[in-house]
Amino acid sequence: MKTIRSLLLALVSASLLMAWPAHAQKQVPVSRAEMALSFAPTVKKAAPAVVNVYALKRSTQRPNNPFMDEEFFRRFFGGPQGTMPMERVQRSLGSGVIVHESGLVITNHHVIQGANEIRIALGDRREFEAEVVLLDPRSDLAVLRIQSTKERFAPIEIADSDQVEVGDLVLAIGDPFGVGQTVTQGIVSATARTRVGITDFQFFIQTDAAINPGNSGGALVDVNGRLVGINTAIFSRSGGSHGIGFAIPTNMVRVVIASALAGNKVVQRPYFGARTQAVTAEVAESLNLKRPAGALIASIIPDSPAAKAGLRAGDVVLAVDDVGVDDPIALQYRYALKSIGSTAKLTVERNGRQIQVNIRLEAAPERAADEIEISARSPFNGARVSNFTAEIANRLRADPATAEGVVVVNIADGSSAQRIGLRPGDIILEVNGAKIENTGDLDRAAQQPAREWRFVISRGGQRRNVVIRG
């Protein structure tokens, strides 16, 4: 009996195997029951558009040996070669995504920052040189173009990141640790993460798909193989993946790509013209709001778009074009996605009732650089400074409309400015109690004789008070 049963089972199994196609087409899993199927079709669709980005940074430096500056020591310890500058090469590896058939590649700004040479490696192992088309430090995105080829590339399909929901299945594709293209799978853990501190527009997709060093600039795709985000950072205490990764939403990516295709070197974003703050539980209670959400307008900049639209201090912005905003960062993100020259509708809570306000989307007023070198006898002697222009503000990740002070762009060797430790990128805000709003203000302040100099600078986003006596 047992033998007959075994024979029947064998016959049934053989018939099933014969009926199953040898090359059955795989499908994207769309239900729990189909989880036993494969993501291979998704990978085959998206992976060819994901590339490796190799960035080389070359710099020269003199040997760190003060004795080699003396002829006597050069003769007896190494001769003339002792003072020859040495070349230092730094290599960084990241990922990128082809987003246009002409060979445009989107990646993270931090992957190629300061690079002298950039190469792109395709999935089929071909390598090409690449040029920088546009840098956008404020979003940590950069656009590259593959050079030396007339080939048309297959770009990835880009999805609407606003349609991404918590719990959606996603795949992360990149080149972690330089081991080769790798795919990891997970879910969307959260959307609209605003307290990550990576870019100016903190509005990230969080995922538990494993993201490791080298994945930066790679693709986060949905189950249909469409790009939903650019992998940019991980939360880790060891450098490895702990299941908390962040991706820049594609709706921000689209803005940067559009600027690059338009031939712009800087992404121009609309200027709001108001300073905002978070709505705390106490503020919500005092304003009789239903919940502590939105962006509270603290002050209005005169003659700005916000002022022209009739917004007032004390207003709470709840939505932009009917998309809710929970805090000032979300407002900044939603506003930055809009096109200059159009109009946005703001939902505003004012005096206990909701109103609709139309605001014209304008570029920030451009300021002349008025670049000068400070020559007066002062701690700033030898510092070359500039007003905030759109380009400088973009490089320093500052809002050109609200940025204050003047920027140090160069320091003369052996100057007073160098001796006191000023650096390019420092922002001078105040000198001896006088507010510095432009380069002329600093020039006049430097010409005033003083036994003691007190000034305020901003470096890396941190304010510093400096006192120089003598």
131: its two tokens: 């040029």
In this structure, the strands spanning 227-234 and 245-249 are antiparallel
Asked if the model's pLDDT at residue 317 lies above 80, the reply is yes
Share of residues in the chain with pLDDT > 70 (%): 80
Active-site positions read: 110, 140, 216
- pLDDT tens track for 425-450: 899 999 988 899 889 999 998 898 88
> What SS3 class is residue 466?
strand
Give the C-alpha separation, 465 to 448, whole Å: 19
Q: What is the pLDDT of residue 244?
A: 83
- In tens, the pLDDT along 69-102 reads 444 444 444 544 445 555 666 677 889 999 999 9
pLDDT (0 to 100) of residue 33: 59
Rounded to 5 degrees, φ, ψ at 280 are -80, 175
Q: Which residue has the higher pLDDT, 219 or 399?
A: 219
**Cβ neighbours of 142 (radius 10 Å):** 28
- Break the chain into its structural domains and give their ranges: 46-146, 161-261, 270-363, 372-469
Return the beta strands (E) in 101-200 as ranges.
104-108, 117-121, 127-136, 141-146, 169-174, 182-193
Question: Does the structure show a pLDDT above 90 at 166?
Answer: yes
Domain 161-261: assigned CATH number: 2.40.10.10
Do 46-146 and 161-261 share a fold? yes
**Which uninterrupted H or E stretch holds 444?**
helix 439-446
Whether the predicted pLDDT of 4 surpasses 90: no
CA gap 120, 125 in Å, rounded: 10
- The pLDDT value recorded for residue 31 is 65
Instruction: Name the pLDDT band for 2 (thresholds 50, 70, 90).
Output: very low
Picking from 300, 209, 299, 276, the residue whose alpha carbon sits closest to that of residue 247 is 209
Give the per-residue pLDDT at 401: 63
- Kindly state the average pLDDT of the residues 364-369: 79
Residue with tokens 């969080």: 206
Question: How confident is the prediction for the chain on average, in pLDDT?
Answer: 83
35 or 265, which is more confident: 265
Check residue 34 and give its pLDDT. Answer: 59
Q: What is the percentage of the chain residues whose pLDDT exceeds 90? A: 45
Q: For residues 107 and 105, give the distance between their C-alpha atoms in angstroms, rounded to a whole number.
A: 7
Q: What six digits make up the tokens of 327?
A: 């805090």
Is 372-469 assigned to CATH 2.30.42.10?
yes
Beta-bridge mates of residue 344: 359
pLDDT (tens digit per residue) in 65-78 = 544 444 444 444 45
Residue 247 β-bridge partners: 205, 231
Cα 248 from Cα 257, distance rounded (Å): 13
Q: How many CB atoms lie within 10 A of CB 440?
A: 13
The 10s digit of each residue's pLDDT in 39-68 is 889 999 999 999 999 998 876 555 555 444
Report pLDDT digits (tens) over 10-45.
433 444 333 434 444 545 666 655 555 688 899 999
CATH number of 46-146: 2.40.10.10
| Residues paired with residue 114 on neighbouring β-strands, in sequence order | none
Of 2.30.42.10, 3.40.50.1000, 3.40.1410.10, 3.40.190.10, the CATH number of 270-363 is 2.30.42.10
